[in-house]
Chains A and B, each alone.
Chain A
Amino acid sequence: MKVSAALPTGVAALFFDSARHHRELEEKLVARLLESGFSEVILPVIDYLEPYEAMLAGTPSVTRRDELYRFVDRDGEVLALRADFTPMLARLIAPRLAALELPLHLFYRGDVLRYQEERAGRERETYQLGAEILGLEGEEGERLALRRFLELLAIGERRRLLVVMGFAGALDRLLLERAEGSDPAALAAAVMRRERRAVRGGGDALLQVVEHGVPDDPGELGEEAAARLARLEALCRELDEAFPQVDLRLDLAEFADQTLAGELHHATGPRSYYDGLMFRAFAGAAAEPVGGGGRYDTLFRQLGADVTAAGFSLSLDRLIARDGDGLVAEDGR
């Protein structure tokens, strides 16, 4: 009998050089994290679904309920395969926090599994490596997370490394003011898709964000957000010097759905995954980011861990795919 060697769309087996390349990169990244004082945590692949139920209801940028591989175990418990490390880590570290000295620097690695429609380019299983910095107050934790992220990203010979930065809630004031009488979630989605026509009705400042990433007058964002943007611009300049191989950009439109204002949550979802700095990295020409991260204190608090939290994850599969085979052109293709 002939047995097929086919795999479902979105999963892959690695043999020989591919496997070696994967492990070599993984070990380099892990070595850098260990040098930087991070400790490894090993998390299970199967978990209860129930603790995360509230988070799954429409939260932007968190795994959607319909992406989860979930099933009823023989004892009747609803279980899910791991689709995201961070919420599981938050829940499991919570009861241990009181006995631990902060800040904590943790990292993890392993597969995450998310259901995707069966078509080319959709990953159902991807190997992630990520890190969390817990208990650093103020913006120190998120800045350190970004710096560590860039250090890992810079390992290797990748060309056209691009990191886009923004922060949660940056556009809340503009969305609330400009969407008066209409749907702020629809306006936020139009900003994310850079739909000029739909955004034009939301005023000049939103249009400038779509066209240039930031408004001409940061004051339009409100006092607090404008001050945060100024600090982020300063950080960007500082990191530009430290990581010349990475093209750092500020683009508030990229994160328009990450809102903090309670008034927006009824439209965009109950809450945002992130509540501070956000960043997303692209390598080569592909549209899918190779990694990203930011700050998510609220997420940790919701899962019982009363601690500041910032972190990031990288997809090793995508990083390796973007490394190419020496045929990569100057423009990243």
Chain B
Amino acid sequence: MIRLALPKGRNLEIALAAFRAAGIGLDGLEVKDRRLRIEFPDDGLEVLLLKDWDLPLYVQYGIADCGVVGSDVLEEVDGDLLTPARFADGHCRMSLIGREGSMPGPGEQVRLVSKYPLTARKVLADRSWGAEVLKLGGSVELGPLLDLAEVALDIVQTGRTLRDNHLVELEVVRQVQPCLVVNRSAYQLYRGELNRWLDRFEAAGVVES
């Protein structure tokens, strides 16, 4: 039985729709499900419901064989996981955010706030700013809004939060989307079954192909 880790929240909705479109029912599993561990014998699956940020660790340690997680989390966690598919739905952007016209120029000293400090350092590596990165747990938009930082690096979906707070996307630095991630060891063990999943995902048009 394959153990699949699914993220709570928005990506669960996308993952459930994708699996169901591919004929993998996960009957009875709902977006607001409060169970943490659910067996689906008909699908040959056991599902773990986890927080986004914990999910790669569970897959890395082999507690789960595979999972669905955003590429933003995956890049930040920097684990050694396989990513055989990227889901077609659920795209958003990782962007530098600030006040209108506040994009720092070459050589300027800036402070950047983000939930993604490792990714932020990568983004800054090829810029000529002197930069200090501060990690925040949430409401990152408050950083540039209250002058804690010149810029923030965060996920933008519709842009409404930015508009409501008189902020703008200064630059899109990454496209973000949910990915199927697989543990290297599990990939060898369940290769046949995973390939069948991938074929069905592709036939249903729910992953990029």
Contact = CB atoms under 8 A, between A and B. Distances in A.
B161 interface: no
Interface of A: 117, 119-121, 160, 162, 164, 193-197, 200, 210-213, 247, 249, 251, 254, 282, 284-289, 331-333
Contacts, number: 83
Given A121-B61, A333-B62, A333-B63, A196 B185 contact: no
Interface of B: 1, 3, 57, 59-63, 65, 77-86, 118, 182-189, 191, 195, 198, 202, 207-209
B63 A285 contact: yes
A333 B189 CA distance: 13
B61 A287 contact: yes
A196 B85 contact: yes
B81 A287 contact: yes
Given A162-B185, A286-B61, A333-B63, A197 B195 contact: no
Contact of A287 (B80, B198, B209): B80
A120 B58 CA distance: 11
A286 B62 CA distance: 4
A117 B118 contact: yes
Among A193, A210, A213, find the residue whose CB has the most chain B CB atoms closer than 10 A. Answer: A193
B83 A193 contact: yes
A118 to B, nearest CB: 11
A215 to B, nearest CB: 15
Contacts of A289: 184
Contacts of A120: 57
A162 B84 contact: no
Given A117-B78, A193-B82, A286 B60 contact: yes
Nearest to A284: B62
A195 B84 contact: yes
B78 to A, nearest CB: 7
A160 B61 contact: no
Contacts of B195: 211-212
Contacts of A286: 60-62, 183, 185
B9 to A, nearest CB: 22
Contacts of A195: 83-86
